[in-house]
Structure 1
Amino acid sequence: MAGRRSYDFMYRVGAPWETSEPRPELAELLASGEIAAPGRALDLGCGDGTQAVFLARQGFETTGVDFSPTALAKARRAAGSAGVEVNLVRADFTAPRVDGVAGPYDLILDYGSVDDVAPAKRGAVAAHVAEWTRPGGLVLMWCFYNDIPWWRWERMRYPGRLRPGEERELYEEDFTIRRLAAPVPGSGSACFLLRRRP
């Protein structure tokens, strides 16, 4: 739950999660056809734009939203280098209104965003996600997840994380939820595929 200045600094020096490759579960779900391209996509907390650019290259009309201007500058350069168009929006997606983000989207990505929001604000993010996802649309959510055995947890320090069952509290009213096989339970992170109910 770091602030904007912390993220600006990390993106200036190279955030540890930055990569030039698409996330494997996203690539696999696209290759299998479970995520169908093209469509409209939103990358929530898009960071340096790697995933947003990847989706744009698959034919998605893609929007990336982040509150870090440093991250968005990197995302803009990445899109330019790839020769694709990505709509990049600087905004706080926990706010009651998020200008520049308008559904419905066929696919929303959340790689470490809702878990990095203060618990009291996660419901607001979930409400936006439900509002922005078209019926039948998908949300791919990767998060830190507090399902680590207590004896390992005592020696580990993780940033913001969801507790087991919190994904259902946030999303089950509007989505069916499936936990993907990887990351494995007990690893301290999880990936879920959510489908918006009609």
Structure 2
Amino acid sequence: MPLAHLDCRPFAAFCQGHHAHACSIPVDELPSRMHELPKTSEPLTVYANADTLQTANAFLTSKGYQVVQAIEWTLPLAASLQAAGLWQNGAQSQRLWQPAPLIARFVTEFMPAYQIQPGQGLDIGCGAGRDMVYLTMHGWQMTGIDYIPGALQRAQQLASSQHVTVTTLQRDLETGQDPFSEFADGQFALITVARYLHRPLFPWLQRLLKPGGILIYQTFMQGAEQFGSPRNPNFLLKPGELAQVFAHTDILLDTVETLDDGRPVSAFICRQVAGCP
């Protein structure tokens, strides 16, 4: 597995010169930018100044990351990177984070296979925004909805770092009222939901999808409670539940995947057919 390079020096110092494959996250910004890091199973090489190297290393280790190299930034190190052709200056920071695997698979596999063209998309429970930012990077015009203002702020920061624009809305989706009243019927060509389940939303999702529009739904299945949260059955899908709810659609994928920690999650993609809902 290749190393991910993380530069924890101040951004101004990063711009003056850095490892060509490094991502810039200053040490004091690490707690608020965890969503920009790779999975904890991916080993890290960390660069920092002498006075912050131990702090960066300790923080990342406490979060479960494998810091295989913690390297103090020095002039000899800069010279060695230059000699090896691994030197770069400027603000270009490498992306270490990834979207959900199902989202990446949709972009690389399903979009070309089914000739799906990017359009307006809606990410429900978008969190820190990795999925919708990734989709925006691939042509989609994404709107993200979440209840937590801090998550929406991180989503906007992530979009800015990738030089794309997303729309974010703070919304309580569980009031019993239509939380999508400002959106027109059939407005969206894509709706994504990840790790969030509120069954009363299902009819509204069907209303919002345009004919030919895609729904991607990935959340926890029954059995996940054996490995951790969620344990509330209201937040766990039953086998075949999505296929039954969206039986009137063209189901492109309906399977169960397993996270690294053993929890089963749905991998469900369907396409709205003409005349529905």
TM-score norm. by structure 1 comes to 0.74
Cα distance change, pair 85–13 in 1 and its aligned pair in 2 (3 A): closer
**Which residue in 1 is equivalent to 2:72?**
none
- After superposition, the C-alpha distances for 1:56-80 in whole angstroms (9 at most, x for unaligned) are 1111111001111111111111111
Name the amino acid aligned to 1:108. Answer: I
Larger radius of gyration: 2
2:133 is aligned with 1:53: yes
Please tell me the root mean square deviation across aligned C-alpha atoms, in Å: 2.9
Of 237, 245, 249 in structure 2, the residue corresponding to residue 175 of structure 1 is: 249
Give the counterpart letter for 1:177 in structure 2. Answer: I
Structure 2 vs 1, CA of residues 85 and 97 (structure 1 numbering), >3 Å: closer, same or farther?
same
For residues 117-146 of structure 1, what are the alpha-carbon distances to aligned partners after superposition, in whole Å with 9 as ceiling and x for unaligned?
Answer: 3xxxx1x21011101111111111111112
Partners of 1:181 and 1:129 in 2: how far apart?
A: 20
| Residue aligned with 1:109, SS | strand
Percent of residue pairs identical: 26
Distance 1:89 1:28 in 2: 26
Q: Deviations over 1:42-96 (max 9, x none)?
A: 1111000111111111111110011111111111111111111101011123342
Letter in structure 1 aligned against 2:205: V
Query: Could you tell me how far apart the structure 1 residues matched to 2:135 and 2:33 are?
Result: 25
Contact 2:188 2:209 in 1 (8 A): yes
The offset of 1:157, in angstroms, is 3.5
Task: Give runs of aligned pairs for residues 1-198 of structure 1, distance below 5 A.
Answer: 20-32=97-109, 33-34=112-113, 36-94=116-174, 95-98=176-179, 101-102=183-184, 103-114=186-197, 117=198, 122=199, 124-146=200-222, 155-159=226-230, 160-172=235-247, 174-180=248-254, 183=257, 188-198=264-274
Structure 1 gaps, min length 5: 1-10
> What stretches of structure 2 of length at least 5 have no aligned partner?
1-30, 40-96
Partners of 2:133 and 2:182 in 1: CA distance: 18
- Identify if the C-alpha distance between structure 1 residues 177 and 62 changes in structure 2 by more than 3 Å, giving closer, same or farther: same
TM-superposed deviation, 1:178: 4.3
Contact 1:144 1:158 in 2 (8 A): no
Distance 2:150 2:98 in 1: 20
Q: Is the 8 A contact 1:56 1:84 kept in 2?
A: yes
Contact 2:220/2:263 (<8 A) preserved: no
1:147–1:188 contact (8 Å) kept in structure 2: yes
Q: Is the 8 A contact 2:255 2:268 kept in 1?
A: no
Q: Secondary structure at the match of 2:142?
A: strand
> Are the aligned partners of 1:147 and 1:163 in contact in 2 as well (CA < 8 Å)?
no
Three-state SS of the structure 1 residue aligned to 2:219 is strand
Deviation at 1:34, TM superposition (A): 4.0
Instruction: Give 1:4's aligned residue.
Output: none
Q: Which residue of 1 aligns with 2:51?
A: none
Query: Which SS does the other structure have where 2:177 is aligned?
Result: coil
The verdict on how the C-alpha distance between 1:34 and 1:106 changes in structure 2, with shifts beyond 3 A counting, is farther
**CA separation in 1, counterparts of 2:267 and 2:169?**
25
Q: Flag the structure with more relative contact order, 1 or 2, with Cα contacts below 8 A and sequence separation at least 6.
A: 1
Contact 2:256 2:264 in 1 (8 A): no
